[in-house]
Amino acid sequence: MATIHAQEFKKGDFIPCQEMPFLMENFEADFQVLDNFYSPSTGPYYGFGRRGPSASYPEKLDRMDRLYHQYLDKLTAVDFEALPQECKVDYILFKRDLNENLRQSQVERRELDSVAQWFPFSDTVYDLFKLRRRGIQPDAQQVAKDWSGIFDQIDSLKTVLRDSDDLSVLVIRKATEVGNGLQQTLADVHGFYNGYDPMFTWWVSKTYEDLDASLKEYTELFKQKQTPDKNGIVSRKPVGREELIRLLEYQMVPYTPEELTKIANEEFAWCEKEMLKASQELGFGNDWKAALEHVKDTYVPPGKQPEAILDLYDTSIDFLKKNDLITISPLAEEVWGMYMMSPERQRTNAFFTGGWNITISYPTNTMDHEFKMMSMRGNNPNFSFATVHHELIPGHNMQYFMNARHRTYRDFGTPFWMEGWALYWELLLWDMDFPTTPEERIGMLFWHMHRCARIIFSFNFHMGEWTPQQCIDFLVDKVGHERINAESEIRGPLSSNSNPLYQVGYLTGGRQFYALKKEMVDSGKMEIKEFHDKAIKLNAMPMEMIRAIMTDQKLTKDFKTNWKFYE
Instruction: Report the mean per-residue pLDDT for the chain.
Output: 92
**Binning pLDDT at 50, 70 and 90, where does residue 11 land?**
low
DSSP state of 392: S
Percent of the chain having pLDDT more than 70?
96
- CA separation (Å) from 27 to 39, 40, 47, 62, 125? 18, 21, 20, 16, 29
User: Residues 502, 415: contact at Cβ < 8 Å?
Assistant: yes
For residues 184-196, average pLDDT: 96
**pLDDT for the residue 49:** 43
Instruction: Specify the pairing of strand 337-340 against strand 357-360.
Output: parallel
**Preceding peptide of 306 cis, ω within 30°:** no
**Cβ contact 417:543 at 8 Å:** yes
235 or 45, which is more confident: 235
Domain layout of the chain by residue ranges: 17-115, 119-223, 241-551
Give the residue ranges of DSSP H helices in 323-361.
Answer: 330-335, 343-346
At 305-319, the pLDDT tens digits run 999 999 999 999 999
Q: Is the pLDDT of residue 7 over 50?
A: no
Could you tell me which residue, 46 or 340, shows the higher pLDDT? Answer: 340
Q: What's the whole-number mean pLDDT along residues 197-207?
A: 96
Q: Which residues contact 219 (CB under 8 A, 6 or more apart)?
A: 175, 176, 179, 180, 183
**Quick check: 282 and 429 in contact, CB under 8 A?**
no
> 129-142 pLDDT, tens per residue?
999 999 999 999 99
% residues pLDDT > 90 (the chain): 78
Count CB atoms within 10 A of the CB of residue 462. Answer: 24
Asked if pLDDT for residue 103 goes beyond 60, the answer is yes
Q: Cα-flanking dihedrals φ and ψ of residue 63, to 5°?
A: -65, -40
Residue type, 367: M
Q: Are 347 and 491 spatial neighbours (Cβ–Cβ below 8 Å)?
A: yes
pLDDT mean over 176-193: 96
Which residue, 270, 278, 440, is CA-closest to 432?
440
Confidence of residue 427 (pLDDT cuts 50, 70, 90): very high
- How high is the pLDDT of residue 5? 44
pLDDT of 344: 83
- Does the pLDDT value for residue 203 go beyond 70? yes
CA 155 → CA 151, 159, 210, 245, 313, distances in Å? 6, 7, 11, 43, 58
- Residue 44 has a pLDDT of 53
User: Taking phi first (over 0 means left), then psi (-120 to 50 degrees means alpha), and beta for anything else, what does residue 135 get?
Assistant: left
Confidence of residue 215 (pLDDT cuts 50, 70, 90): very high
Would you place residue 171 in the very low, low, confident or very high pLDDT band (cuts 50, 70, 90)?
very high
Residue-level pLDDT at 9:
58
Q: 47 or 251: which carries more pLDDT confidence?
A: 251
Q: Is 70 exceeded by the pLDDT of residue 192? A: yes
From 448, 484, 443, 502, select the one nearest 348 (Cα to Cα).
484
- Residues 6 or more apart from 473 whose CB is under 8 A from it? none
pLDDT digits (tens, 9 = 90+) for 42-101: 765 444 444 555 679 999 999 999 999 999 999 999 999 999 999 999 999 999 999 999
Confidence label for 166 from pLDDT (cuts 50, 70 and 90):
confident
pLDDT at residue 491, rounded to an integer: 84
